[in-house]
Amino acid sequence: MRAEIIQRETAGTDRMTAILAAVKSVLRTRHAAAVPEAGIDLMFDAGVVARCRACNVSWRVARTQYKSPHWWACPSGCHRRGAA
């Protein structure tokens, strides 16, 4: 049980590390970046915009929200519905 919790926390940390690296790249280069482990693509349009790879919904992510994991999940809930 403890090993499962640690594995989930590590996966979440790895996912956030990948997302934050992609955000940094997008802000620096203004070019799109793919984050397949999170199921999103990131783009620049006067700020960071995330797009769900499953349903193509896009949403803006403010600088103050970069480190909040829930901002990187599709707002339509498509991944939660697919996992159920």
pLDDT per position as a tens digit, 8-30: 444 568 899 999 999 999 999 99
Distance CA 15, CA 22 (A): 11
The neighbouring-strand residues paired with 44 are 48
The Cβ-side half-sphere exposure at 32, using a 13 Å CA radius, reads: 7
Distances (CA, A) of 8 to 1, 4, 33, 44: 11, 6, 24, 30
pLDDT at 13: 80
pTM over 0.85: no
pLDDT bucket at 6, cuts 50 / 70 / 90: very low
pLDDT per position as a tens digit, 33-75: 999 999 999 999 999 999 999 999 999 999 999 999 988 999 9
CA of residue 21 relative to chain centroid, distance: 11
